[in-house]
Amino acid sequence: MKLAILFGGASFEHEISIVSAITVKEKLASFDLSFIFCDQDHTFYLIEPSKMKAVTFSRGEHRKMQKLSVTNGGFEQKGLFGAKKHDMPVLNLIHGGDGEDGTIAAMLDFFKIPFIGPRKEASMLSFDKYYTKWFAASLGVKTLPYEVLHKDDKRVVTTAYPLIVKPSRLGSSIGVSIVREASELDYALDVAFEFDEVVLIEPFIASVKEYNLAGFAARGEITYSIVEEPQKAEFLDFEKKYLDFSRSGKVAEAEVHDNLVAQLREAFAKIYLPLFEGALIRCDFFEIEGEVYLNEINPIPGSMANYLFEDFQASIQKLLGSLPDKRAISVKYDYIHSISQAKGK
């Protein structure tokens, strides 16, 4: 089965996307894969499979490879003797801005290119943690209490210490800090505001139980991954998440009771359906006093959360066979014709 992996993008998570693409290449060995790299200047390159190595991009060697342009139904490679079209479905593996904010989804939709990934509406609600809070509340899914600060706001915080500071529109724990006392707040905010103009502030709960669950909808039902209890120190910092992006071995299933698994799946289904159809997502949850709380939605999880699925290749194949169709609009110009006839033209 043919599939193009689209990765890179102009975001703070550009390098993480490269790591994810290299990992997914190994996990989808039975597929006929193409690799399309989006550079930071939004130039697309067709990467030779043998060159899918981190140094290819860090040394700029990708710039010597074939450039691609986007055309109706796929990507096009122009040459001296015409153009070659790459019209297979796409796996959107661009993390952060471009890939998860709806930009790439809108482009693929506009050019009628079938793809695995969140559509633009789902992207907008999951990319911004502030909007995710609203979205979850509308579905009856609990989240931690929070405050929002904008870059030019007075730095007045009412959340009790310790607290956690997060850029609102960034993943991979980049710019995230734990603040234990007031003297540490300004520095943590300075760090977060380096990456975003909006930050979220939440209570930090030490030793809170955290569980990850991935899944996708296909053929009328949700396929769930195993439940993972991530191993962490105090929280999943960038270094730990960076290593997670390169994970390819299956992780151990969390030892949790059936009632908790049911609660996690119920919350996941509320979030997923119908907005995220066509995507494989991972939701990260907290368990506090027997209640499930959504921490965040990963609309394009690192390495597609391959390590949570018994058969990742079969899962991707199943999802490819159940991508949502974009409604075709038929334009017949009846209105313009009626006006012209009325005017006698």
Residue-range domain boundaries for the chain: 2-117, 124-141+206-320, 147-203
What's residue 103's pLDDT?
97
pLDDT band at 232 (very low <50, low <70, confident <90, very high): low
Greatest alpha-carbon pair distance for the chain in Å reads 78
Residue 244, SS3 per DSSP: helix
Averaged pLDDT score across all residues of the chain: 92
DSSP track, 96-141: STTTTSSHHHHHHHHTT--EES--HHHHHHHHSHHHHHHHHHHHT-
CA nearest 106: which of 70, 143, 138?
A: 70
DSSP track, 3-16: EEEEEE-SSTTHHH
Cis status, amide bond into 114, omega within 30 of 0: no
| pTM (two decimals) | 0.91
- Give the position of tokens 């396929």: 223
- Cα angle 313, 7, 253; round to 5: 40
- Give the position of tokens 């015409």: 82
What's residue 244's pLDDT?
54
Alpha-carbon Rg of the chain, whole angstroms? 22
The answer to whether residue 162 scores a pLDDT higher than 80 is yes
- Burial class (CB within 10 angstroms; exposed 0-12, middle 13-18, buried 19+) of 39: middle
* Superfamily designation of domain 124-141+206-320: ATP-grasp fold, B domain (3.30.470.20)
User: Mean pLDDT, to the nearest integer, of 212-218?
Assistant: 97
Q: How far apart are CA 211 and CA 264, in angstroms?
A: 9
Per-residue model confidence as pLDDT tens digits over 94-139: 999 899 999 999 999 999 999 999 999 999 999 999 999 999 999 9
Q: How far apart are CA 296 and CA 230, in angstroms?
A: 14
What's residue 337's pLDDT?
84
Question: Which residues, other chains included, contact 270 with Cβ-Cβ below 8 Å and sequence gap of 6+?
Answer: 139, 140, 141
* Superfamily designation of domain 147-203: ATP-grasp fold, A domain (3.30.1490.20)
Helix, strand, coil distribution of the chain in percent, nearest 5 = 35, 25, 40
pLDDT band at 320 (very low <50, low <70, confident <90, very high): very high
- Higher-confidence position of 247 and 249: 249
What's residue 67's pLDDT?
97
What's residue 238's pLDDT?
46
Q: How many CA atoms lie within 13 A of 144 on its CB side?
A: 23
Question: In the CATH hierarchy, which fold is given to the domain comprising 2-117?
Answer: Rossmann fold (3.40.50)
Percent residues over pLDDT 90 in the chain: 81
Q: For residue 48, what are the CA distances in angstroms to 2, 35, 69, 309?
A: 15, 7, 17, 28
What's residue 6's pLDDT?
98
Phi, psi torsion values for 184, nearest 5 degrees: -95, -10
Per-residue model confidence as pLDDT tens digits over 273-314: 999 999 999 999 999 999 999 999 999 999 999 999 999 999
Q: How many CA atoms lie within 13 A of 62 on its CB side?
A: 25
What's residue 83's pLDDT?
87
User: Mean pLDDT, to the nearest integer, of 53-61?
Assistant: 96
Question: Which residues, other chains included, contact 301 with Cβ-Cβ below 8 Å and sequence gap of 6+?
Answer: 214, 280, 281, 282
- Number of other CB atoms surrounding residue 188 within 10 Å: 21
